């Protein structure tokens, strides 16, 4: 009897194995991520680190925040391929570009609250990290209506400026007579120092310098490598009170409304981290460009004016500050409060330590 039971059990198990060999295991397939196509226009060449690193990483950050539900198919429009930097904001409003980024200085007067950060001496940053976070905090503090035409994604900045020249400058007096490529926000201070400033977009600088239209440039160090300005200039002096360029990143409102709600939430969720990482990336490439310039044949010399030189500049900056407060007041805005807010925020974040970024 016992042997029969064992034999039946063996036959039963053998039958199960035989039947199981014909049954495929049930695999629950993961849903494929939904592809969302988004056009993105910017003001740099396609090989610039902003496209290669900053914004590529940003859009991956957004995808990650959706837990893989969406994949962003970015259609890139670098400088000169769709719309110019000074027309980009209006282009986004009109839907010519679905999204993009440009500098405040390309549209002076368009963003009075945020443009406060670009004014000489009001909120000079120590680095790109502090500048980016300050811009985000200033926007959250005042929620300016100047960006109501678009969906703001985040802000970032170049950090403090350097004045690149063909000859060494030992004193602020040496600026007199220079033909400087400047921006709208620092033309006045250069004129006060006896320079001949000319405003132009970055893409025009190389040719202008070759033709002798300008013999110097105010910009962050990254342009020495990314825009090949190290081929034009051999000296750079630190001028943080003169300039720091800030940038907006925005999306067309109709495009924004067309996105699924959870994808919108993902964009909002990563905004602060995107600004922080952008600051760290810009800081990395500014340092890298300085090393690049130093390594060229003949080298490149970086210097700083003595602290005593800046006392006279403060007297030049004071009326610029007062005039900007008056401008904000004329637009029905609390000028003094906005300017003081920008200064205090930058002072706060200038004291912070930031983790360096590496590719």
**pLDDT tens track for 119-142:** 999 999 999 999 999 999 999 999
Question: Is pLDDT above 60 for 22?
Answer: no
User: Quick check: is 3 in a domain?
Assistant: no
Mean pLDDT of 201-207: 91
Pick from 81-85, 128-132, 336-340: least confident: 81-85
Range of the domain at 275: 35-359
Q: What percentage of the chain reaches a pLDDT higher than 90?
A: 80
Q: What is the pLDDT of residue 31?
A: 80
Distance of CA 320 to the CA centre of its chain: 26
Binning pLDDT at 50, 70 and 90, where does residue 203 land? Answer: confident
Report the C-alpha gap between 225 and 39 in whole angstroms. Answer: 27
DSSP code of residue 54:
I
Question: Is pLDDT above 60 for 25?
Answer: no
User: Quick check: is 9 in a domain?
Assistant: no
Give the burial class of 253: count Cβ atoms within 10 A of its Cβ; 0-12 exposed, 13-18 middle, 19 or more buried.
middle
The model's pLDDT over 216-263, given as tens digits with 9 standing for 90+, comes to: 999 999 999 999 999 999 999 999 888 889 999 999 999 999 999 999
Q: What is the pLDDT of residue 108?
A: 86
Question: Is pLDDT above 90 for 11?
Answer: no
Report the C-alpha gap between 18 and 16 in whole angstroms. Answer: 5
201: domain CATH number? 3.40.190.170
| Strand order through the sheet with 235-238 | 198-199, 180-182, 216-219, 162-165, 235-238, 301-304
Q: What percentage of the chain reaches a pLDDT higher than 70?
A: 92
User: Quick check: is 11 in a domain?
Assistant: no
Report the C-alpha gap between 218 and 199 in whole angstroms. Answer: 10
Number of domains, the chain: 1
Q: What is the pLDDT of residue 30?
A: 63
Q: What is the pLDDT of residue 185?
A: 83
Residue with tokens 């009109």: 94
Q: Are 106 and 226 in contact, with CB atoms under 8 Å apart? A: no
Higher pLDDT, 358 or 256: 256
Binning pLDDT at 50, 70 and 90, where does residue 16 land? Answer: low
DSSP code of residue 52:
I
Question: Is pLDDT above 90 for 78?
Answer: yes
Q: What is the pLDDT of residue 205?
A: 95
User: Quick check: is 58 in a domain?
Assistant: yes
CB atoms closer than 10 angstroms to residue 57: 15
User: Quick check: is 227 in a domain?
Assistant: yes
Element (H, E) at 153: strand 150-157
List, in sequence order, the alpha helices (H) in the chain: 2-20, 49, 56-65, 88-94, 128-142, 187-192, 205-210, 222-226, 253-258, 261-269, 271-294, 310-330, 335-350
Residue with tokens 């036959």: 11
Question: Is pLDDT above 60 for 20?
Answer: no
Q: pTM for the complete prediction?
A: 0.86
User: Quick check: is 29 in a domain?
Assistant: no
Q: What is the pLDDT of residue 316?
A: 86
Tell me the average pLDDT of the chain.
Answer: 92
Question: Is pLDDT above 90 for 33?
Answer: yes
Closest CA to 328 of 318, 319, 338: 338
User: Quick check: is 2 in a domain?
Assistant: no
Question: Is pLDDT above 90 for 26?
Answer: no
DSSP code of residue 109:
T
Mean pLDDT of 84-104: 96
Q: Is 345 helix (H, G, I), strand (E, B) or coil?
A: helix
Q: Is 286 helix (H, G, I), strand (E, B) or coil?
A: helix
Q: What is the pLDDT of residue 201?
A: 83
Q: What is the pLDDT of residue 321?
A: 93
The model's pLDDT over 263-319, given as tens digits with 9 standing for 90+, comes to: 999 999 999 999 999 999 999 999 999 999 999 999 999 999 998 888 878 888 899
The model's pLDDT over 153-192, given as tens digits with 9 standing for 90+, comes to: 999 999 899 999 999 999 999 999 999 999 888 898 999 9
Mean pLDDT of 323-349: 97
User: Quick check: is 22 in a domain?
Assistant: no
């Amino acid at each position: 009897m016992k042997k029969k039971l064992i034999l039946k059990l063996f036959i039963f198990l053998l039958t199960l194995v035989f039947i199981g060999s014909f049954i495929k295991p049930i695999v629950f397939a993961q849903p494929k991520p939904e592809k969302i196509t988004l056009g993105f226009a910017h003001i740099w060449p396609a090989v610039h680190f902003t496209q290669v690193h900053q914004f590529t990483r940003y859009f991956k950050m957004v995808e990650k925040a959706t837990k893989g539900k969406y994949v962003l198919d970015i259609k890139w429009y670098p400088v000169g391929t769709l719309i110019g930097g000074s027309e980009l904001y209006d282009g986004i409003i009109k839907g010519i570009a679905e999204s993009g980024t440009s500098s405040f200085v390309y549209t002076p007067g368009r963003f009075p609250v945020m443009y406060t950060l670009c004014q000489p001496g009001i909120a000079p940053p120590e680095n790109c990290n502090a500048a980016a976070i300050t811009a985000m905090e200033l926007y959250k503090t005042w929620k300016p209506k100047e960006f109501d035409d678009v969906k703001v994604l985040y802000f970032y900045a170049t950090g403090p400026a350097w004045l690149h020249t063909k000859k060494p400058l030992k004193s602020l007096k040496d600026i007199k007579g220079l033909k400087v490529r400047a921006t709208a926000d620092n033309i006045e201070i250069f004129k006060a120092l006896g320079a001949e400033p000319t405003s132009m977009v970055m893409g025009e600088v190389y040719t202008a310098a070759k033709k002798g239209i300008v013999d110097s440039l105010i910009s962050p160090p990254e342009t020495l490598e990314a825009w090949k300005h190290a081929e034009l200039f051999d000296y750079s002096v630190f001028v943080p009170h003169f300039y720091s360029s800030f940038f907006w990143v925005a999306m067309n409102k109709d495009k924004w409304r067309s996105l699924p709600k959870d994808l919108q939430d993902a964009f909002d969720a990563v905004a602060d981290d995107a600004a922080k990482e952008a600051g760290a990336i810009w800081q990395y490439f500014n340092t890298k460009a300085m090393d690049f310039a130093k390594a060229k044949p003949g080298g490149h010399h970086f210097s700083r004016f003595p602290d005593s030189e800046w006392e006279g500049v403060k007297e030049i900056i004071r009326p610029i500050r007062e005039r900007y407060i008056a401008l904000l007041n004329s637009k029905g805005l609390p000028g003094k409060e906005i300017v003081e807010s920008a200064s205090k925020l930058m002072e706060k974040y200038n004291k912070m330590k930031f983790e360096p970024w590496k590719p």
